[in-house]
Amino acid sequence: MSDKTLTRMDLAEAIHTEVGLSRNDIAELVESVLRHISDALVRGETVKISSFGTFSVRAKAARVGRNPKTGQEVPIHPRRVLTFRPSHLMKDRVAAGNRG
Residues 29 and 55: their CA atoms lie apart, in Å, by 20
pLDDT of residue 1: 57
Cβ contacts of 2 within 8 Å, gap of 6 or more? none
Residues 69 and 72: their CA atoms lie apart, in Å, by 8
pTM: 0.78
**pLDDT averaged per 10 residues, the chain (length 100):** 86 92 93 96 96 96 94 95 96 84
pLDDT of residue 37: 97
Q: How many residues does the chain have?
A: 100
pLDDT of residue 100: 55
pLDDT of residue 67: 93
